[in-house]
Amino acid sequence: MKVTILGNNSALPAFGRHPTAQVVSVYGELILLDCGECTQIQMQRYGFKWRHLQHIFISHMHGDHYFGLPGLINSMSLLGRTAELHLYGPKELMPIIQSILDVAETVLSYPFHFHALPEGSEVLVDNNSFKVTCFPVNHRIFCHGFMIERKTKGRKLLPDKCREYGIPAIFYDQLKQGEDYETKTGDIIKNEWVTEDGPSPKKYAYCADTIFTDSFIDIIQGADTIYHECTYLESDAAKATARFHSTATQAAQIAKMANAKQLLLGHFSSKYRDLEPFRAEASAIFPNSIATTEGTAYEI
Ligand SMILES: [Zn+2]
Ligand SMILES: [Zn+2]
């Protein structure tokens, strides 16, 4: 499970950095978190195939988190997409998208489903591969974070070993569940001889735009990786609070309180050219802090 940062800047693009968007890859499926301007261009640049994208989640209605949507939705139709697309976002989002489609008399080539976010925390998607839960954060306008949990898929088969021991393919599902295989002559083929550990469950908490608050700590508790915005350094803490944003120090405090393993920092203000001070400031509190760079895929 990986997250690739497509945009790590806040509202104004600066120094080659783009507004917020991230792609989470789970078992080959892509999940898009926010969709700032240039998202479709960034996805192309970093080699993502739109056909693997089925779920888009928009945290809130500030333009730096959704202005890339009309272009992306339209381009997928121009390419003749047929797979379903599910968009989750604030209820105000769909009328905007709809009017853009209506004035251009656009009929999308694919089934498009919009799901309005609830006010509180709720499970939005729960399938065999992953679960996505939204949770409210505290921003100037209604805003949600998202928790993405990758599910385990049992043990991983070693096909060469299975063939070597002559195990019939019909028994493979049981091997994935950890069972041993008994041959016709009564010999036991131990599960660990023909399988290895499968992918473990993983949790990624995307904390969107928020003022410093511990109100969602319970939900993100134990996440392997937390993304937390830090628009400002601590020297601008008053400005951060006034604008419902956070500092690098505050992001690190959240990661520490949540017992995370890794902290990804982003949503940097365009007033900062150099991002190293963000890493340095956060690392003093939470050592495994990373000031994200665009195009980098981080293992969760
Ligand atoms: Zn923002
Ligand atoms: Zn915002």
Q: How far is the CA of 173 from the centre of ligand 2 (A)?
A: 46
Q: What integer pLDDT is reported at residue 98 of this predicted model? A: 97
Q: Which ligand is nearest to the CA of 137?
A: 2
What is the maximal distance between C-alpha atoms in the chain? 75
Give the pLDDT confidence of 1-20 residue by residue, as tens digits.
999 999 999 988 899 999 99
Q: What is the mean pLDDT of residues 190-218?
A: 95
Ligand with smallest separation from the Cα of 65: 1
Residues whose CB is less than 8 angstroms from the CB of residue 288 and which lie 6 or more positions away in sequence, other chains included: 261, 262, 263
Q: Sorting pLDDT into bands at 50, 70 and 90, what band is 32?
A: very high
Q: Is the pLDDT of residue 154 over 90?
A: no
Comparing CA positions, the residue from 66, 11, 2 lying closest to residue 34 is: 66
C-alpha 210 to ligand 2 mean position (Å): 8
Q: What is the mean pLDDT of residues 26-49?
A: 97
Residue 222's pLDDT is what? 95
Q: How far is the CA of 229 from the centre of ligand 1 (A)?
A: 9
Query: Ligand 1 centroid to 166 CA: how many Å?
Result: 57
* pLDDT digits 0-9 by tens, 87-121: 999 999 999 999 999 999 999 999 999 999 999 99
Q: Which of these is catalytic: 34, 64, 209, 224?
A: 64
Instruction: Provide the pLDDT confidence category of residue 66 given band limits of 50, 70 and 90.
Output: very high
Res. 153 pLDDT band, cuts 50 70 90: confident
Ligand closest to Cα of 21 equals 1
Q: Please check the confidence at residue 200 and state whether its pLDDT lies above 90.
A: no
pTM for the whole thing?
0.91
Sequence-ordered list of residues with C-beta below 8 angstroms from that of 99, at least 6 positions apart, any chain: none
Residue 198 pLDDT greater than 90, yes or no: no
Ligand 2 centroid from CA 275, angstroms: 20
Annotated active-site residue 64? The verdict is yes
> Which residue, among 16, 15, 20, has the nearest Cα to 64 in the 3D structure?
20
Which part of the chain has CATH 3.60.15.10? 2-153+199-299
CA atoms in the 13 A half-sphere facing the CB of 138: 12
CB 285 within 8 A of CB 249: yes
Q: What are the residues whose beta carbon lies below 5 Å from ligand 1 (ion)? A: 62, 64, 209
Average pLDDT over residues 156-183: 93
Task: For domain 2-153+199-299, give its CATH number from 3.10.20.90, 3.30.70.1290, 3.30.565.10, 3.60.15.10.
Answer: 3.60.15.10
Cα(139) to ligand 2 centroid in Å equals 7
pLDDT of 179 above 90: yes
Can you give the pLDDT at residue 199?
82
